[in-house]
Amino acid sequence: MAFNAILESLGGVGYFQILHTILLLIPVALVGCHNLLQNFTGAVPSHHCRVPLSIALQYKINSTRDAGQEKLLRSFIPLDEHQKLEKCVQYRRNKGWSYLLNATLEKVRDLSREPCKDGWIYDTNVFSSTIVTEWNLVCSQRSWKQVAHSIYMTGVLIGAVVFGSLADKFGRMEILTWSYLQMGIAGCCAAFLPTFDAYCAFRFLCGVASSAVSVNSISLILEWMPNRGRTLAGNFFGFSYSVGQLLLAAIAYNIRNWRWLQFAVSAPFCVFFIYSWWLPESARWLILRDRPHQAVENLRKAARFNGKLKEGKKLNAEWNLVCSQRSWKQVAHSIYMTGVLIGAVVFGSLADKFGRMEILTWSYLQMGIAGCCAAFLPTFDAYCAFRFLCGVASSAVSVNSISLILEWMPNRGRTLAGNFFGFSYSVGQLLLAAIAYNIRNWRWLQFAVSAPFCVFFIYSWWLPESARWLILRDRPHQAVENLRKAARFNGKLKEGKKLNAEMLCSEMQKEILEIRSSHSVLDLVRTPAMRRMSTCLLFVWLSSNFAYYGLSMDLQNFGLSVFLAQALFGGVEMAAKVIVMVSMTVVGRRVMQFWSLIFAGALVISYGFVPPDMRLLCTVLAVTGKAFLASSITCMYLFTGELYPTEIRQTGMGFSAMNARLGSAIASVVHLTGDFSLSLFSMVFGVTPIVAGLFSCFLLETKDSPLRDTIHDVERRYTNQSMDSDGSEDDEQNIF
């Protein structure tokens, strides 16, 4: 929360954040081009066996054909079931070419067949050259096309693992700058290599770099963006992939040679490499790596760019916490957060023992007195001590407030009430920005945000204790009293008079048992929470990308121009991401994650059972299913970035991206099932998103929640969420 307040005081979502986000998203769009580039560079044009050179020269068969030449070709090449020239076989030559030329069509059909011996002739009307025509990746060699894409995706997978950890160790910008250079050089080299093996090797290097570009870009965007701008920024990150698809369609339409197309989408990374030297490192990461002086420098640059020069100069101004003393600033915040941690443990159990309102009232008083005292203390040590007391009290305020809200709210109102609870934090951040804008002295600012707790302490005496807690503590008569007060306030006086202790205990017996069972989750420790989160994200990332790339890899199967199909896919994804942006703001990440995956899976499964002649319906189902998968991936990046803490966010993003690329690599192989059974193809690519959707139910919602900085923050959030909920059953109902 403190770091977010700093960003807000330095301009919030200002010119720096906007330009910074744009400069990071442009390369991401071209990464989207690379991910789907093989739809064009690996397109398979119409082809048939090449007639031997001597016959071709005599009859000019291998040049542009007229009707007579077509008839001659049928003397050498059999027809398939659609009365088109066979792609992979020709008539056996054991009787000589003169016999084939002079034999009737009926006699020719009875001849034995053999694979093409002299290569193939390709239709160059759509593409002048592709890797398929370059290295004859057709017929018995057709699987090598998928091998090339699998090698690229394997590179993406390895890049997620390697560069994710390296970015946490050496910095986001160090790795991102290197990735731009690697992407530019490897991509341009791949465009002009003479052999397929060398091409695959350099595409592998492109894949490694593309993964680093994606995961580092989203982390830098989120870590430089204040809370209120994260949803929009995360969605624009998803938009950039769709823009990349539209851009790829436009570039490929104008560049039909695969080598120049490969070069066109790779060369810009050399420009990105140059301007990346002016992009600042994440201030959050620098602070956690004990480099606060550089973090302050970067924050001041951002402040200057946002027109907040004075605010930037005030960083670390009171006790000269710079140079050799700079770490003490983080010590102060760590002490405060230690208080928050202790408050969650101590006051959580005390509230169960003595009551929510007893502890909440005391916490208001402690927060008011300790906060006001901290504003006027002469020494740094004393300031830290009273900030510790503020941290203890703040945790008690949060935990007990949400408990009281949920325990006084019927089931149908809990979702909205819980969202308003999260919204109150966002309002607080906006309020802090407004107050800090008008109060530039830290002491009066500290006092201004602490003194109101004395008022809260006074009116808290009129707030009723939780009736649920009173029943659990065998105080049903006081619970009835409080319920009657609520009924009277709601204009339900008669209904309130009908309540009695015996009836209340009888009606609440089942709910009492549920509450007791839900409290057992407070015994969780760090490792189980992280394991639960990472396991769920593993399946969500792997399955989403597995299905997404399974649908994306072969646009030629949809019966449309590949350019139109690419533009259609990109356009529909753009529309879907506009919808998901609004929806995530309204209903949250987890709900959108769940339903995007469920609908995508259902549509992909349906796609496999539509008759092949109904191409329009097939295309609609595939495009819509892919749009839902794109929405899921958009949500997934933001969701994952918010779930993982700063100190291991990059490792977490790398782990997630690793599973995503593993899914992409597997998709390249499983995609071959479409050659044998379309229904099997759709079942495989449709069931996995549905399973992933079910796993997403076990992730905690992050909407309107601040970014977490340490593993302790994550564990505390899981603990508080479980304690604040009225049972896991209610949490799951929010999804439906």
Q: Which of 252-266, 268-282, 410-424 has the lowest mean pLDDT?
A: 410-424
- Class of 2-42+143-280+524-733 in CATH: mainly alpha
Q: Which of 199-213, 278-292, 518-532 has the lowest mean pLDDT?
A: 518-532
At 103, the pLDDT band (50, 70, 90 cuts) reads low
Query: What are φ and ψ of residue 120, in 5° steps?
Result: -135, 155
pLDDT on residue 199: 92
pLDDT for residue 194 is more than 50 = yes
pLDDT for residue 341 is more than 70 = no
* % of the chain beyond a pLDDT of 90: 10
More confident residue, 228 or 367: 367
**Bridge partners, 48 (sequence order):** 121
Q: What is the DSSP string of 134-155?
A: HHT--GGGTHHHHHHHHHHHHH
pLDDT for residue 53 is more than 80 = no
Which one is the CATH code of 336-522: 3.30.43.10, 3.10.450.50, 1.20.1250.20, 3.40.718.10? 1.20.1250.20
Q: Which of 73-77, 314-318, 496-500, 605-609 has the lowest mean pLDDT?
A: 314-318
Q: pLDDT, tens digit, for every residue of 198-242?
A: 999 999 999 999 988 988 898 888 888 888 888 888 888 888 888
Q: pLDDT, tens digit, for every residue of 368-425?
A: 999 998 888 777 788 888 888 988 888 778 767 766 776 677 755 544 554 455 445 4
pLDDT on residue 514: 38
pLDDT for residue 318 is more than 60 = no
More confident residue, 381 or 322: 381
Cα–Cα distances in angstroms (integers) from residue 174 to residues 125, 181, 182, 213, 720, in the given order: 45, 11, 13, 11, 36
Residue 528, SS3 per DSSP: helix
Closest CA to 216 of 258, 269, 273, 174: 174
Q: Report d(CA 216, CA 171) in Å as an integer.
A: 9
Q: Which residue has the tokens 């570039």?
A: 251
pLDDT on residue 650: 47
Average pLDDT of the chain to the nearest whole number? 76
When pLDDT is averaged across residues 36-40 and rounded to a whole number, the result is 87
**Bridge partners, 90 (sequence order):** 114
Closest CA to 653 of 236, 237, 215, 217: 215
CB-neighbour burial class of residue 501 (10 A; exposed 0-12, middle 13-18, buried 19+): middle
- The domain limits of the chain are 2-42+143-280+524-733, 47-119, 336-522
Q: Which of 81-90, 202-211, 495-504 has the lowest mean pLDDT?
A: 495-504
Q: Report d(CA 245, CA 649) in Å as an integer.
A: 28
Within this chain, domains 2-42+143-280+524-733 and 336-522 share the same CATH topology: yes
When pLDDT is averaged across residues 336-345 and rounded to a whole number, the result is 63
